[in-house]
Each structure stands twice: as C-alpha cells, then as structure tokens.
Structure 1
Amino acid sequence: MPDYVIRLYKDSDYEVVRDIFSRGIKEHTKTAFFHTLSLPHIWALLLAVFLALLQTTGSYLLSTMVVSLSVAGLWLTNRHVYGTYVADSLATDMMNICKYYLQRDGYCFWVAELAGEVVGMVAAIPPNSPTGENQVELKRLSVPTKHRGKGIAKALCSTVIDYARKRGSSAVVLSTSLSQYDASKLYLKMGFRRTTTAYAPFTFAKFIDFRTLFYQYDIPVQR
C-alpha cells in the first residue's frame, strides 16, 4: 500500500501548492533552453553572426562575446516563457484555488499527502471544446523532484480519470510542453494518446521550437 493519500485541496494547502506549481513549471526552462540550442537553424544563425562579425571587425573576442550574448538571450527567452506562464496562472485560477476549483460544477482539485506533507497536486476542469464533447481536462499535475518515482503522479492522474469516469465523460484531455519529457512518458504509460501538436501562441515560439503537445485518454463505454 502507498504511504501517501490523495485528498481534496483545502485552504491550508495554499502556499505549498502554489510553490509546487511554480517550481514544477520553471524547472523546465533548462530543458527547453538546451532543446533550442540543439536546433540546426539556431546553430546556423549563431555561426553566421560569429563569421560576419569576425570578418567585419577581425576580433575573435568581440565575435565570441556577441555570440555568447545571443545564447544568453535564448536562455532569457525560454525563462520568460515559463515565468510569464507561472505569473499568469498564479494571478488567475491559482489565486483563489478553493473558489475556482471546488465551488464550480465540473471543476476539482486534489493533493497528495505524505506524512502530513503535500507532495503533489492535480486539477480537473471542463475543457474548452468546440465540439461540446463531455470531456474532462487534466490540469496542474505536479510532484516535487524529491518525491518522484513513488507512483504519486500516476495516482493523481488516475484520480482525474476516475473523476471523469464517474461523471460519465467520454475522455480526459490535457496539454503539456515539448520539454516536459517525463510528463509525456507518464501519459503514454497511462494509456493516453497524442492527438496533435501545435506551436505555443506567442512571438518566437516557432523560432525556438516551443510546442504544445495534446493528449487524450478515451474512457471505455460501460455496458
């Protein structure tokens, strides 16, 4: 039997839940940055800048400094993407979690607790589906690094699936960023399938290859 329990969110969880969410999102900055650096067009651009400056100024030092500043700009761009997302989320649905998730039909928020400590979180909302399908969207799944590998994320994911099944929903849907490799692996192991991929809706998303992956778990019809 697992040592942790999954329970509904309560107001005393507020600060730790917001902290888990913030840290969980921002930790992907490094992965996203190295993915950006691995792109062929980024390498080509950096090389072109270096050679153009070297030919123009004849200075290896200046050329190297400008390229280094360009790389730093790529880091700051990725950090800004995640930082902005966190700030927007903390100012909207994560501002008043109880009111947003527990006082509205079709919304819910759970935490995982281990030895009195909150060690994970997940939420469910009605998706903004243009087809009007009866689905549930999994949101805010996060487990701190030190508590991973204990099956907590899987249990939280299963909680949302069970919630959707009890509501008679046809599927659970979710979205995650390309750099969240572990999350994608978890969803595939849980039986989700990737439905589509799209560039995030912000400037330079295509340039830094910042994509959003969409997944769906189909709930079998009970006969």
Structure 2
Amino acid sequence: MTNIQIRKFRDKDAETVKEIFTLGVSEHVPASFTHMLKQPPTQMVLMCMFCALMASSKSFLLPILAITLLLAGARQLVVYSFNKYIETSLRSDLHNISETYLKQRDSCFWVAESDGRVVGTVCCVPTETAPGCLELKRMSVRRSYRGMGIAKALCRTVADFTRYRGYAAVILHTSVVQTDAQKLYEHMGYQKIRESVVPEVLAKIMNFTLFEYRLDLQQDRKRD
C-alpha cells in the first residue's frame, strides 16, 4: 500500500464520502437480485407462472414475455430498496458527519486518502445492542483502489481506536451478498456470532440475511 493516509474526516470531505457510500451500496444490487433468483420460492413462482401461461396460451412467446416483465419488475424493486436505504442514510447520520461522529463521545469517522483524493471511509460508534462494544460502520473503498490493503488499514484503525477507548470488542454487520467483505473481516480476526433476516417484506422474500461479526480486543485503560 503506497501513498495512503488514514485521517479523521473533515467537513470538506462530505460530498466525496457520500459519493463513495452511494456507489458502494449500489454495487450490491446485481448480487442481491441474483440471490433473490436463487431462492426456492422465487423459482417456484416463476415456474408456476410459466407453466400456467404455457398451458393456457399454447405458445412459448406469452410465458417468456411475462417472465421477462416479472423479472424486470423484481429487479426494479431491488433497486428501489437499495435507493431507499441510501436516501435514508444520507438524511440521517451522513447528513452531518461531524455532528454525528466527531462531536459524540467514543465515536469517530475516518477517510483513506491517496495523493490528496479520498478513496475510502469507515466510522465507529457505541451501540446499545452490544454494551461494551463499538460498532464499525460505513466501510467502503472505491473500486479502483481495492486490493491495496486500504480496507485492512481502515479495520485496524477502528480496532486501535476501540482498544484505546477501553472497549472490549468491535462489532459490525454485513449482508449475505457481501462475500468479499465477509472474507476480509474473517481474515482480520472477526468471528460470526449471529444471523438475522432484515424485517422487511421484500427482504424476507429474498431471504436477505444480515451477519453480525465480533472482534474481541485486549483492553487498555479508557482515556478521555
């Protein structure tokens, strides 16, 4: 890894951070759509529709057109779901990053910078669901800068901060379609501790599972 600096977020980074976040989340649409198509209920619906239309129309054309339209509509639903998540995030914690992360106790937001350009992000916050832990969030690296060790450096930055602040562990959540992220976290020593399905109708249909990971740390004295 060359010419990479991990530093705290500055207000001038805001638009770039939002862009990296948006692009990173949008990348998961194709994998999520493919994951939905692999689910038995989805395949059963498509097969039943095809057979019913085939039997009633006595033609291949109508079933094929109907299935094509259904798949196009399903993909748009996946796109809508991800866009809704992006919009919600941009209106909440990413609306004012300094206020959300830098002015709150035991929270921080970092960027990875290469030759003056912000190419990666990560942050951490205390979490009520896991007392004594900080949660790693908003991890994303520009596609053209992946494979350079930036994500690992960002992970280590969060772990070092968590240890310095005296917390016992880092937790994070990633999805079933983020296989590269899962491999990264497991390589960094995280252990998968829980699985859950997102409690939304489309997510349940897709069997869109979230994985919770935990990295236990050797504690240092908590500092102000």
What's the TM-score bracket when you normalise by the shorter of the two chains?
over 0.9
Count of matched residue positions in the alignment of Structure 1 and Structure 2: 221
Residue in 2 that maps onto 1:3: 3
Report whether the alignment pairs 1:99 with 2:99.
Answer: yes
In structure 2, what is the Cα distance between the partners aligned to 1:54 and 1:85? 38
In structure 1, what is the Cα distance between the partners aligned to 2:92 and 2:220? 36
Deviation at 1:42, TM superposition (A): 1.6
Local SS of the residue matching 1:86: helix
Deviation at 1:222, TM superposition (A): 5.7
Residue in 2 that maps onto 1:152: 150
Q: Which residue of 185, 189, 192 maps to 2:190?
A: 192
In structure 1, what is the Cα distance between the partners aligned to 2:142 and 2:158? 19
Q: RMSD of the alignment, in Å?
A: 1.4
Local SS of the residue matching 2:7: strand
The share of aligned pairs that are identical, in percent, is: 39
Deviation at 1:204, TM superposition (A): 2.5
In structure 1, what is the Cα distance between the partners aligned to 2:219 and 2:6? 26
In structure 2, what is the Cα distance between the partners aligned to 1:193 and 1:87? 30
Local SS of the residue matching 2:206: coil
AA aligned opposite 1:207? I
In structure 2, what is the Cα distance between the partners aligned to 1:222 and 1:15? 35
Local SS of the residue matching 1:87: helix
Report whether the alignment pairs 1:110 with 2:110.
Answer: yes
Dislocated runs of 4+, deviation >2 Å: 220-223
Alignment of 1:161-180 (within 5 A): 161-180=159-178
Alignment of 1:1-223 (within 5 A): 2-129=2-129, 133-221=131-219
In structure 1, what is the Cα distance between the partners aligned to 2:162 and 2:219? 12
Structure 1 stretches lacking a partner, 5+ long = none
Deviation at 1:181, TM superposition (A): 1.0
In structure 1, what is the Cα distance between the partners aligned to 2:19 and 2:68? 32
Deviation at 1:41, TM superposition (A): 2.6
